[in-house]
Amino acid sequence: MMRPTVVAILMSVIFPMLALAQTTDELKNDERTPDDVLTYGMGYGQQRFSPLTRINRNNVKRLVPAWSYSMSDNRGQEAQPLLKDGILYLTDHEKTVALDALSGKAIWKSMIEYPPDTTRVVCCGIVNRGGALFDGKLYRTILDAHVIALDIKTGKEVWRTKSADPKDGYSMTVAPLVASGVVIAGVAGAEFGHRGYLEGLDPQTGKQLWRTYTIPAPGEPGAETWPGDAGSHGGGSTWITGSYDPDLDLVFWGTGNPAPWNPVNRKGDNLYTNSILAFQPKTGKVVWHYQMTPNDPFDYDGVNELVQAELTIDGTLRKVVMQANRNGFLYVLERATGKLLAANKFVKVNWAERIDLATGRPVWTEVTKAALEGKSVQVWPHLTGGKNWHPMSYSPISKLIYLNTTSFGWDYQPLPSEEVANLKPGQPHYGIKRPFVYIFDDPDGRGHLRALDPVTGRSKWAVPFKSPNFSGTLVTAGGLVFTGRLTGEFMAVDADTGKTLWEFQTSAGIVGQPITWERDGKQYVTITNGATGPYVMRSGDPNLANVPAGGSVWTFKLFEEYSGPQRATSGN
Amino acid sequence: MIMRRAPPLRRAYVPLAARVALALAASASVVYADPDGAKIERGAAIYGDYCASCHGDGLRNTSGGATFDLRRLRPEDHDRFLNVVLNGKTQMPPWRGALKLEQIEAIWAYIRATIDR
């Protein structure tokens, strides 16, 4: 009886010291340490670039599955896996799991429950996008707008903090960010008339340290861009993890669309929806902002990931942050100041002619002007966006962005203003006639995998797909780009040409985020499958009719002679 | 009230052009001329805002079995439908208290009209 107690006391003394081994410095260096993946985006700058070359153009044909692990769930698997000390950590809407990375065997599984009416305010997939590792804990969000911390050794809950109430439209799917020792999380819910925010929590206790709303309160700067109290349920979600520049000590986080979608009762710019916010992680204080789509009628939800790079623009090396926005423009801004350096179309766009670099504002076409007057229009891109949430990658070798884009428009038909008035938080906030009609220009090219020059927006190559891809990409120094398809194929293409070099049919559609890592001198690639999302659930795409549900994790390695079962390196 | 069946629907209201459009992912709006038409149209709007994100636009379910394919509902399944909508099932939330019975019946009318057309 005494012995476990003694161990527990000893652990309580020793454990904090061990836990400190996982520190802010490790997070800062994540992109340079390929034997672990500690952050969303494979580095604070979210480049999703790996320096590993053991798997490369010449041998990728020998890539085979090492193991597969069932997530025992039919919902979407969108989470980026994390890896530390040979253990993979994965999340979905109802569980967190720790797996031995070499054998695929479970070390622990920690289930989550949330009230069944939570999913009333989940618009676009019952998902979770991953955890954050820091100080011996895994931090994650839950659909019912809670943030929790788990002990990474046992999966046991250390703390639980209620952030908001789903009855008011809020939900949480985002992978948190740990920056400057603060756990930062955001919310979804603009489709249900919430007021978006970012929140900083204490990693030890879960205590809320600060909250920054994405829509100003009455009297604050920016409030004048909303009529009446429209901003109080005006949306501006924060459902994709921001990137972090430790030198500037600034976090860059995208904000989402205004609510309701129909703009008729919210004339004005609707700050700070569809914007990039640069803020201090310790305080949540916004240092600069830039708005991509003012007064948005088209759900051009500006949350997409903000990838950092150093680019030569007009002969000057600039530290930039880049976003491929749902609205079809690729934005490049100076990290320190928010100055707009480039904004070019990367897909078909007809809502704006261009972005005025001097003012930073879009030059609207007749399409947007008509939509803002309450008229029906055909608009490109579709509300799905030229690129949806699935993250892009950037190679500092090729200086190119690799991303999956869509190629279809939307038959936008707003409802009359009286049908949009008096919506209450927690109720659907669309005000658009159903169904949301897709306009496919080319059924053989509903989407493309592209390599883009971030400064010009021009594609170096573009590979068409019959169904668009909604998977993240990963680029390696081995000259490979990994991504997945809604029909289940996981693939590697040549980063120089886009040519498919390898493909493997997994058991379900892929909407995940591939990672690669190294252990004992061997390189591995890990991806989840199990598809969901508005396109999968509602497009009626005939190519998806026979793709099964059911999520799994897959890890691949180069083929080698069978040498017995893989032994677990830790845990069991 | 709860046990009431939706009235049988006439099939004359779908113009050929709309049928062609519905064969594609993109469907044109359908004009309903008969007295049930208003209810069906109301049901279509409610379905769009509350149901389509999981069950598909126009009932076209491509979830691979993750959600129930509503096109499998037979006319005699009305009570089962009502029970699941009110009380929820697996990840489907209960809509009791959020949707009125009249709204759920309008969704049923829309589902029947879409299947039977």
**pLDDT tens profile A257-279:** 999 999 999 999 999 999 999 99
Beta bridge mates, A330: A324, A344
Bridge-based pairing of strands A182-186 and A197-201 is: antiparallel
The two structure tokens encoding residue B76: 């005699």
Whether residue B24 is predicted with pLDDT greater than 70 in this model: the reply is no
CA-wise closest residue to A542 among A434, A441, A446? A446
Question: What confidence score (pLDDT) does residue A3 get?
Answer: 54
Q: Does B75 touch chain A (CB under 8 A)?
A: no
Cβ-based burial of B69 (10 A; exposed 0-12, middle 13-18, buried ≥19): middle
A-chain CB neighbours of B45 within 8 Å are 433-434
C-alpha B58/C-alpha B55 separation (Å) is 9
The phi and psi torsions of A232 (rounded to 5 degrees) equal -70, -20
Q: Does B39 touch chain A (CB under 8 A)?
A: no
The two structure tokens encoding residue B95: 């809509």
CA distance A339 to chain B (A): 37
Q: Mind listing the pLDDT tens digit for each residue in A102-121?
A: 999 999 999 999 999 999 99
A-chain CB neighbours of B99 within 8 Å are none
For chain B, positions 4-33, list CB contacts with chain A under 8 A. Answer: 24-29
Question: What confidence score (pLDDT) does residue B21 get?
Answer: 38
Whether residue A16 is predicted with pLDDT greater than 50 in this model: the reply is no
pLDDT range class, residue A345, cuts 50, 70, 90: very high
Whether residue A251 is predicted with pLDDT greater than 80 in this model: the reply is yes
Residues 6+ apart with CB under 8 A from A366: none
Q: Mind listing the pLDDT tens digit for each residue in A187-234?
A: 999 999 999 999 999 999 999 999 999 999 999 999 999 999 999 999
Q: Which of B60, B62, B71, B89 is the best mutation test for A, with the most CBs of A within 10 A?
A: B62
What single-letter amino acid sits at A389?
Answer: W
The two structure tokens encoding residue A278: 């640069």
Whether residue B13 is predicted with pLDDT greater than 90 in this model: the reply is no
A-chain CB neighbours of B27 within 8 Å are 435, 437
CA-wise closest residue to A253 among A300, A216, A290, A296? A290
Question: What confidence score (pLDDT) does residue B11 get?
Answer: 39
Q: Mind listing the pLDDT tens digit for each residue in A25-78?
A: 999 999 999 999 999 999 999 999 999 999 999 999 999 999 999 999 999 999
Is-contact A127 A532, C-beta < 8 A?
Answer: yes
Q: In the 8-state DSSP scheme, what is residue A231? A: G
Whether residue B1 is predicted with pLDDT greater than 70 in this model: the reply is no
Q: How many CB atoms lie within 10 A of CB A27?
A: 21
CA distance A368 to chain B (A): 21
C-alpha A299/C-alpha A302 separation (Å) is 9
Q: Which helix H or strand E contains A68, and what residues bound it?
A: strand A63-70
The two structure tokens encoding residue A560: 């080698």
pLDDT range class, residue A438, cuts 50, 70, 90: very high
Residues 6+ apart with CB under 8 A from A4: none
Q: Out of A116, A411, A547, whose CB is closest to B26? A: A411
The two structure tokens encoding residue A554: 């897959």
Q: Which helix H or strand E contains A243, and what residues bound it?
A: strand A243-245
Q: Does B42 touch chain A (CB under 8 A)?
A: no
Question: What confidence score (pLDDT) does residue A22 get?
Answer: 61
Give the distance from CA A291 to its chain's centroid.
19
Is-contact B5 B74, C-beta < 8 A?
Answer: no
Q: Does B55 touch chain A (CB under 8 A)?
A: yes
B-chain CB neighbours of A123 within 8 Å are 53
ipTM above 0.90, yes or no: no
Residue appearing with tokens 């390599």: A451
Classify A35-558 by CATH class. mainly beta
The SS3 of residue B101 is helix
Cβ-based burial of B68 (10 A; exposed 0-12, middle 13-18, buried ≥19): middle
Say yes or no for a CB contact (<8 Å) between B93 and A433. no
Q: Mind listing the pLDDT tens digit for each residue in A286-319?
A: 999 999 999 999 999 999 999 999 999 999 999 9
Q: Does B66 touch chain A (CB under 8 A)?
A: yes
The domain segmentation of chain A, as residue ranges, is: 35-558
In whole numbers, what is the pLDDT of chain A averaged over residues?
Answer: 94
Say yes or no for a CB contact (<8 Å) between A549 and B65. yes
Biggest distance spanned by C-alpha atoms of chain B: 39
The SS3 of residue A527 is strand
Q: Which of A135, A269, A296, A299 is catalytic?
A: A299
Say yes or no for a CB contact (<8 Å) between A436 and B44. no
Whether residue A533 is predicted with pLDDT greater than 80 in this model: the reply is yes
Question: What confidence score (pLDDT) does residue B34 get?
Answer: 61
Q: Out of B25, B56, B88, whose CB is closest to A537? A: B56
Say yes or no for a CB contact (<8 Å) between B64 and A547. yes
pLDDT range class, residue A459, cuts 50, 70, 90: very high
pLDDT range class, residue A19, cuts 50, 70, 90: very low
Whether residue B16 is predicted with pLDDT greater than 90 in this model: the reply is no
B-chain CB neighbours of A435 within 8 Å are 27, 48, 52, 57-58
Say yes or no for a CB contact (<8 Å) between B94 and A534. no
A-chain CB neighbours of B47 within 8 Å are 434
Whether residue A572 is predicted with pLDDT greater than 70 in this model: the reply is no
C-alpha A302/C-alpha A295 separation (Å) is 12
C-alpha A280/C-alpha A167 separation (Å) is 30
The phi and psi torsions of A220 (rounded to 5 degrees) equal -80, 155
Q: Does B92 touch chain A (CB under 8 A)?
A: yes
Q: Mind listing the pLDDT tens digit for each residue in A155-191?
A: 999 999 999 999 999 999 999 999 999 999 999 999 9
Q: In the 8-state DSSP scheme, what is residue B31? A: -
Question: What confidence score (pLDDT) does residue A258 get?
Answer: 98
Question: What confidence score (pLDDT) does residue A568 get?
Answer: 60
pLDDT range class, residue A563, cuts 50, 70, 90: confident
Per DSSP, the residues of A431-473 read -BPSS-EEEES-TT-SEEEEEE-TTT--EEEEEEESS---S--
Bridge-based pairing of strands A340-345 and A500-505 is: unpaired
Is-contact A296 A328, C-beta < 8 A?
Answer: no
Say yes or no for a CB contact (<8 Å) between A440 and B26. yes
Q: Does B83 touch chain A (CB under 8 A)?
A: no
Average the pLDDT over B33-48 and give the result. 87
Give the chain A residue nearest B58 (alpha carbons).
Answer: A435
Whether residue A356 is predicted with pLDDT greater than 90 in this model: the reply is yes
Q: Which helix H or strand E contains A407, and what residues bound it?
A: none
Cis preceding linkage at A435, omega within 30? yes
C-alpha B80/C-alpha B74 separation (Å) is 10
A-chain CB neighbours of B68 within 8 Å are none
Q: Does B58 touch chain A (CB under 8 A)?
A: yes
Question: What confidence score (pLDDT) does residue A565 get?
Answer: 75
Question: What confidence score (pLDDT) does residue B19 get?
Answer: 37
Say yes or no for a CB contact (<8 Å) between B25 and A438. yes
Question: What confidence score (pLDDT) does residue B117 get?
Answer: 76
B-chain CB neighbours of A75 within 8 Å are 66, 91
Bridge-based pairing of strands A437-440 and A408-412 is: antiparallel
Question: What confidence score (pLDDT) does residue A540 get?
Answer: 85
Cα–Cα separations (whole angstroms), residue A304 to A187, A318, A469: 14, 21, 16
The two structure tokens encoding residue B62: 């491509």
C-alpha A427/C-alpha A385 separation (Å) is 24
What single-letter amino acid sits at A4?
Answer: P
Question: What confidence score (pLDDT) does residue A421 get?
Answer: 87
Is A36 known to be catalytic?
A: no
Task: Collect all residues from A whose CB is shorter than 8 A from any CB in B.
Answer: 74-75, 93, 116-120, 122-124, 126, 411, 413, 428, 430, 433-440, 508-509, 531-532, 534, 536-542, 544-550
Whether residue A373 is predicted with pLDDT greater than 70 in this model: the reply is yes
Whether residue A571 is predicted with pLDDT greater than 90 in this model: the reply is no
A-chain CB neighbours of B57 within 8 Å are 434-436, 538-540
Chosen CATH of B32-116 out of 1.10.10.60, 3.40.50.300, 3.90.1150.10, 1.10.760.10: 1.10.760.10
Whether residue A477 is predicted with pLDDT greater than 50 in this model: the reply is yes
Residue appearing with tokens 């509350």: B50
Say yes or no for a CB contact (<8 Å) between A435 and B27. yes
C-alpha A107/C-alpha A138 separation (Å) is 15
Bridge-based pairing of strands A500-505 and A157-162 is: unpaired
Biggest distance spanned by C-alpha atoms of chain A: 78
C-alpha A241/C-alpha A193 separation (Å) is 21
- For chain A, percent of residues with pLDDT exceeding 90: 89
Average the pLDDT over A247-265 and give the result. 97
C-alpha A45/C-alpha A245 separation (Å) is 7
Q: Out of A428, A433, A540, whose CB is closest to B60? A: A540
In whole numbers, what is the pLDDT of chain B averaged over residues?
Answer: 78
The two structure tokens encoding residue A191: 């489709």
Is-contact A209 A201, C-beta < 8 A?
Answer: yes
Q: Which of B63, B90, B104 is the best mutation test for A, with the most CBs of A within 10 A?
A: B63
A-chain CB neighbours of B49 within 8 Å are 428, 430, 434
The phi and psi torsions of A417 (rounded to 5 degrees) equal -60, -35
Q: In the 8-state DSSP scheme, what is residue A171? A: B
The answer, as to whether pTM is greater than 0.95, is: no
Cα–Cα separations (whole angstroms), residue A364 to A274, A301, A368, A387, A467: 16, 17, 6, 20, 30
CA-wise closest residue to A522 among A58, A63, A61, A39? A63
Say yes or no for a CB contact (<8 Å) between A434 and B27. no
Strands, E, within A474-514: which ranges? Answer: 474-476, 480-484, 489-494, 500-505
pLDDT range class, residue B26, cuts 50, 70, 90: very low
